[in-house]
């Protein structure tokens, strides 16, 4: 069986350095808000071409803290993609804001800039873009809308470490960008971890307070904050892995290129390959009208797949109030998507076998 993702294999090349870094943290006696965090924040900010990086506990908290720092009035509208993981939207509700769902571009499956402006009202305060599957959204038209309507743009880049747009790294394109370092990500920690990047010094300063109970000086609280800190252990592990991110992303691009040229299965809708070098290729997501049959066929033939994601947000029990929302493109995508294995430890033989097996689906 070719696994969808084997984290033991992914982390194996770095085990010695991770062990050394972990011992250094343990022996330091300092485990929260220390030098390991400062080192990683500086390195990741530079990597993202951003002025500031603030390490936080996870990607969900990263979005929450950005929205909390902006302090939009309760009931303000925030435009969000209809096709995304629920973590991109939960913070909007947590803060008593109103998510306004916008359908995707059917080609990229990312939020459609042409549909965004129709959703903007006098009550809109921000747009949340999600760089789903590792590809940056079309930020130029979105930035034009932000400037025209005096909005903030927040990017959820949990799947897009190292992606670029018009020559600039994701993490420097929005007013603020949220990252997750969940273990499966292109840059993955060995536990929950996240960060925010921004070029806005005032926002960065406020987030630093908010992540630590609203305090920067111990026992003095300026805001009603959260406990959301990237700990020293995970920061040290991320510092070990960051220098290898570009090389791993390049391998992902090679694999994606092989898939794009080799997959010939009828009715298979492929991801766009026009910006293959800009895409971080966190996932290789295709669509097929008989998705469940294809999943079973591949599993029976030794290829493990995944579905990102099987049920759209507005059809989740947690959002039952939105069950009557009509989002046909998003609903079709969630019925049809399938993620093929794509990670740096796949061998050329693995890739050839996956391509061959997918193409055989037409002849079962």
Dump pLDDT digits (tens) for 207-251: 999 999 999 888 999 999 999 999 999 999 999 999 999 999 999
Report the chain's mean pLDDT, rounded to a whole number: 97
DSSP 262-323: H---TTPBPPP-TTTTT---S-EEEE-TTHHHHHHHHHHTTB--B-S-SS-GGGSGGGGGGT
Instruction: Please give the helix or strand (H or E) that residue 250 lies within, else none.
Output: helix 245-262
Residue 62: both structure tokens together: 């990263």
pLDDT tens for 297-307 read 999 999 999 99
Q: Which residues contact 302 (CB under 8 A, 6 or more apart)?
A: 1, 2, 353, 357
DSSP state of 341: P
Confidence of residue 34 (pLDDT cuts 50, 70, 90): very high
Q: Of 138, 156, 21, give the one whose Cα is nearest residue 78.
A: 156
pLDDT for position 362? 85
Q: What is the DSSP-derived secondary structure letter of residue 36?
A: H
The secondary structure of 51-114 as a DSSP string is SEEEEES-HHHHHHHHHHHHTPPTT-EEEEESSS-GGGTHHHHHTT-EEEEEPBPTTT-SB-HH
What is the percent of the chain where pLDDT is above 70?
A: 100
Q: Could you check whether the bond before residue 309 is cis, i.e. omega within 30 degrees of 0? A: yes
Q: How many CB atoms lie within 10 A of CB 329?
A: 16
* Nearest one of 195, 188, 272 to 228, comparing CA atoms: 195
User: Could you give phi then psi for residue 266, rounded to 5 degrees?
Assistant: -65, 145
pLDDT single digits (tens) 109-166: 999 999 999 999 999 999 999 999 999 999 999 999 999 999 999 999 999 999 999 9
- Distance from C-alpha of 169 to C-alpha of 250, rounded to nearest angstrom: 15
% pLDDT > 90, the chain? 98
Q: Is 90 exceeded by the pLDDT of residue 313?
A: yes
Per the DSSP assignment, residues forming a β-bridge with 293 are none
pLDDT digits (tens, 9 = 90+) for 48-63: 999 999 999 999 999 9
Phi-psi category of residue 329: left, alpha or beta, with phi > 0 → left and psi -120 to 50 → alpha: alpha
For 35-89, how does the pLDDT look when each residue is reduced to its tens digit (9 = 90+)? 999 999 999 999 999 999 999 999 999 999 999 999 999 999 999 999 999 999 9
Whether residue 364 has pLDDT greater than 90:
no
pLDDT 10s digits, 281-295: 999 999 999 999 999
Q: Nearest 5°: phi and psi at 278?
A: -85, -25
Helix (H), strand (E) at residue 6:
none
Quick one: pLDDT at residue 363? 81
DSSP 8-state symbol, 346: -
The answer to whether 306 and 339 have CB atoms below 8 angstroms apart is yes
């Amino acid at each position: 069986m070719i696994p969808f993702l084997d984290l033991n294999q992914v982390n194996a090349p770095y085990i010695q350095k991770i062990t050394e870094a972990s011992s250094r943290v343990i022996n330091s006696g300092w485990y929260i808000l220390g030098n390991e965090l400062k080192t990683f924040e500086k390195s990741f900010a530079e990597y993202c071409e951003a002025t500031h990086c603030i390490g936080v506990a996870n990607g969900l908290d990263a979005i929450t803290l950005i929205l909390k720092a902006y302090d939009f009035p309760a009931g303000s509208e925030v435009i969000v993609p209809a096709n995304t993981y629920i973590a991109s939207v939960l913070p909007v509700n947590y803060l008593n804001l109103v998510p306004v769902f916008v359908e995707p571009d059917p080609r990229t499956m990312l939020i459609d800039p042409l549909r965004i402006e129709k959703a903007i009202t006098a009550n809109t305060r921000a747009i949340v873009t999600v760089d789903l599957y590792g590809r940056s959204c079309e930020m130029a038209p979105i930035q034009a809308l932000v400037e025209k309507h005096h909005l903030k743009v927040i990017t959820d880049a949990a799947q897009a470490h190292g992606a670029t747009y018009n020559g600039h790294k994701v993490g420097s394109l929005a007013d603020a960008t949220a990252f997750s370092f969940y273990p499966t990500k292109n840059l993955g920690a060995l536990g929950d971890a996240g960060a925010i990047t921004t070029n806005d010094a005032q926002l960065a300063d406020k987030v630093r307070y908010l992540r630590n109970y609203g305090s920067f000086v111990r026992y003095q609280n300026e805001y009603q904050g959260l406990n959301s800190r990237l700990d020293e252990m995970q920061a040290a592990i991320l510092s070990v892995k960051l220098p290898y991110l570009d090389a791993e992303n390049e391998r992902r691009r090679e694999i994606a290129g092989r898939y794009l040229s080799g997959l010939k299965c009828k009715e298979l809708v492929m991801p766009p390959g026009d910006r293959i070098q800009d895409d971080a290729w966190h996932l290789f997501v295709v669509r097929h009208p008989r998705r469940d049959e294809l999943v079973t066929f591949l599993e029976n033939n030794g290829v493990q797949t995944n579905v990102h994601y099987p049920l759209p947000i507005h059809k989740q029990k947690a959002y039952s109030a939105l069950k009557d929302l009509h989002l046909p493109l998003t609903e079709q995508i969630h019925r049809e998507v399938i993620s093929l294995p794509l990670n740096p430890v796949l061998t050329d033989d693995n890739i050839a076998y996956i391509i061959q097996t997918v193409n055989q689906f037409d002849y079962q």
